[in-house]
Amino acid sequence: MRRPEAVLGITAIFLVGALVGVFLNRVDVPGFGDSESRKIEDALTLIRKRYVDVLSDDELAAAAIQGMVERLDPYSTYIDARTLGPVQDELEGEFGGVGIWFEMVSDSARVVSVIPGGPSEHAGVLAGDRIVAVDDSSCVGEPSRSIQSRIRGPRGEVVRLTIYRPVLSQKLNVSVERAVIPIRSVEAAFRLDDETAYIRLSRFTSGTAEEFRKAVSDLRNAGPLRGLLIDVRNNPGGILEAAVRVSDELLAGGVDIVSTEGRGIEKREVYASSAGGMVEDTPVIILVNSNSASASEILAGAIQDNDRGLVIGQPTFGKGLVQRQFVFGDGSALHLTVARYYTPAGRAIQNDLDRNVPVHAGADTVLARNDSDPADSLLQFTTLHGRILRGGKGIYPDHIPPADSLVNVFELVFRSGLDLGFSRRWFDTREASVRQAWSQEPDRFVDEFRIDDETWQEFVTYTAREAGTVWSRYDASDIALARSRISTLLTARIGQSLFGPQIWFSIVSKVDPDITFARAFWEEASSLPGAPGR
């Protein structure tokens, strides 16, 4: 498998809310010097000398670059020096932090889990603590992203946290030295049954392939693995090479994974698989949705085009442009689109957006703009073994889950956050007793915890009050039929408050309609021309 000199990727989840792409390498840029830049230089000189107010050269240069970038595609961006460092930390899969995972409850941040061996554990922070101030400045009422930004910082520096510990009914001050905290790409990995397993990939960073291999190894140690469901829903992408390496573990040697094509030095480059992949012998299904983008689409496209497995879910976002990072002398950078990438069947993934369409809107929004039936507007391609595929606007799945009234009630609860709001209030009033009963026994919690009739009635009352007319669209029989799924969802939320995200995925997988739908296709995935043993 060919490996480029350096590969970087970025999503504007960390920048401006827009999916941004993959960076092939970093180039240092000297000052302007050619004749075509003379007009820009003259304009800068005039503004510097004659404009009514004084502006710094940094401001003028940044504004000039930003003005040029705005004429390009939505993914070409200018990033100032202060922002660039944290962005690269995210891509490399680590940041300077304190080692906690928290969620917002009402107006404060509640610690859900503490990373074992991390700086917060050493400082005495416990699950259940509320963070009420950072460096002696209150953070009550702030959004989670703001609190996260204040807690993170340069490694080795100390941050002072004021926490409220409910079991003691008192505030405590703790000093925590920031350390390198890994950002996990594998959010969850567990067995769905005796023969199949699930891996959730939330991003593609420099450590993703290693995490993936470890997850597969752990799953195999627990028993035979005859089917692997890889979930990249809501995965915005990241580093191209990470997607290539994960794909390489799934594909037999000598087949194409992805190619890139641009101008000049960014001519056609092909990334191919090598022999000896860790799960070459296991049927695979990739789960996608409209927010699966960039590197996620590379993985899905490689599996689908080589007839290696099935892609199930919703049409993906359609982010198929490659960015290259050019670093200026002051530490700022220009992320410039220099190439497009193509799946092995030659599909250009890029969905032709313009700056009038929010790039975070999702593929469903963009496709709906072009055609009420997306499949009718897509080009046809053939796989390595002759299967007909549609493409050209993201990855079009092999199968799309149907909608039904039972799913609609469940989706209303899930997508509106009604389950989250209720479970947090429920947990908040019972935290001490729930922790005492379950906090050291996650496996027993999964097996035995149930939403009883009293709690269910509390939820119905809460939902009727919060959702109003929307909830009233469903009659009592619809709600009763959905009770089992919704109760499992509430259990997962409570488990998440106790144990963190891993247990959330393991519980909710039992009622996730996309996962349930996908699991019906193992036989088809096993019989594809490129499947193991074919």
Q: pLDDT digit string (tens) for 79-121? A: 888 777 666 766 666 667 898 878 787 788 988 777 766 898 8
Q: Does domain 94-182 have CATH number 2.30.42.10?
A: yes
Inform me whether the pLDDT recorded for 217 exceeds 90.
yes
The pLDDT assigned to 278 comes to: 96
Q: Which 3 state secondary structure label does DSSP give 423? A: helix
Name the token pair of 397: 């799945």
Range(s) for CATH 3.90.226.10 in the chain? Answer: 186-321+344-401
Inform me whether the pLDDT recorded for 238 exceeds 50.
yes
Inform me whether the pLDDT recorded for 398 exceeds 90.
yes
Inform me whether the pLDDT recorded for 77 exceeds 50.
yes
- Give the mean model confidence (pLDDT) for residues 439-461: 92
How many other CB atoms are found less than 10 A from the CB of residue 316? 32
Q: Which residues are catalytic?
A: 294, 305, 319
CB 359 within 8 A of CB 75: yes
Inform me whether the pLDDT recorded for 39 exceeds 60.
yes
The lowest-confidence range among 320-334, 372-386, 477-491 is 372-386
The pLDDT assigned to 516 comes to: 94
Inform me whether the pLDDT recorded for 359 exceeds 50.
no
Inform me whether the pLDDT recorded for 459 exceeds 70.
yes
Inform me whether the pLDDT recorded for 4 exceeds 70.
no
- Give the mean model confidence (pLDDT) for residues 141-162: 88
Inform me whether the pLDDT recorded for 518 exceeds 90.
yes
Q: HSE-up of 172 (CA within 13 Å, CB side)?
A: 15
Question: How many angstroms from the chain centroid is the CA of residue 275?
Answer: 29
Residue 412: pLDDT band with limits 50, 70, 90: confident
Range(s) for CATH 2.30.42.10 in the chain? Answer: 94-182
Q: CA-CA distance, 62 to 335, in Å (whole number)? A: 13
The pLDDT assigned to 369 comes to: 33
Q: CA-CA distance, 296 to 9, in Å (whole number)? A: 12
pTM: 0.77
Residue 526: pLDDT band with limits 50, 70, 90: very high
Pairing of strands 179-182, 196-201: unpaired
Contacts of 78 (CB under 8 A, 6+ apart): 62, 65, 66, 69, 332, 333, 334, 335
Question: How many angstroms from the chain centroid is the CA of residue 267?
Answer: 29
Q: CA-CA distance, 377 to 75, in Å (whole number)? A: 24
- Give the mean model confidence (pLDDT) for residues 210-228: 97
Bigger pLDDT: 301 or 468?
Answer: 301
The pLDDT assigned to 312 comes to: 98
DSSP string, 361-391: S-HHHHHHHH-SSGGGGSEEEE-TTS-EEEE
The pLDDT assigned to 361 comes to: 34
Q: CA-CA distance, 532 to 225, in Å (whole number)? A: 13
Inform me whether the pLDDT recorded for 249 exceeds 90.
yes
User: What percent of the chain clears pLDDT 70, i.e. is strictly above it?
Assistant: 84
The pLDDT assigned to 19 comes to: 30
Pairing of strands 94-97, 77-79: unpaired
The average confidence (pLDDT) of the chain is: 83
Q: CA-CA distance, 142 to 146, in Å (whole number)? A: 6
Pick the CATH number of 186-321+344-401 from 3.30.70.2190, 3.40.50.880, 3.30.420.10, 3.90.226.10: 3.90.226.10
Q: CA-CA distance, 349 to 414, in Å (whole number)? A: 30
Question: How many angstroms from the chain centroid is the CA of residue 502?
Answer: 15
Pairing of strands 284-288, 170-177: unpaired
Inform me whether the pLDDT recorded for 417 exceeds 70.
yes
CB 28 within 8 A of CB 251: no
Q: Let me know if 532 is exposed, middle or buried by CB neighbors in 10 A (0-12, 13-18, 19+).
A: middle
Name the token pair of 419: 């389950």
Listed residue (323, 300, 198, 291) closest to 247, CA to CA: 300
Inform me whether the pLDDT recorded for 150 exceeds 50.
yes
Inform me whether the pLDDT recorded for 448 exceeds 80.
yes
CB 234 within 8 A of CB 200: no
Contacts of 378 (CB under 8 A, 6+ apart): 390, 391, 392, 393, 396
DSSP string, 303-362: HHHTTSEEEEES------EEEEEEE-TTS-EEEEEEEEEE-TT--B------TTS-TTS-
Bigger pLDDT: 81 or 294?
Answer: 294
The pLDDT assigned to 511 comes to: 86
Going from the C-alpha of 445 to that of each of 258, 448, 489, the distances in angstroms are 43, 5, 14
Q: CA-CA distance, 317 to 13, in Å (whole number)? A: 14
Look at the chain and count its residues. Answer: 534
The pLDDT assigned to 3 comes to: 36
Inform me whether the pLDDT recorded for 266 exceeds 60.
yes
- Give the mean model confidence (pLDDT) for residues 459-486: 86
Inform me whether the pLDDT recorded for 28 exceeds 90.
no
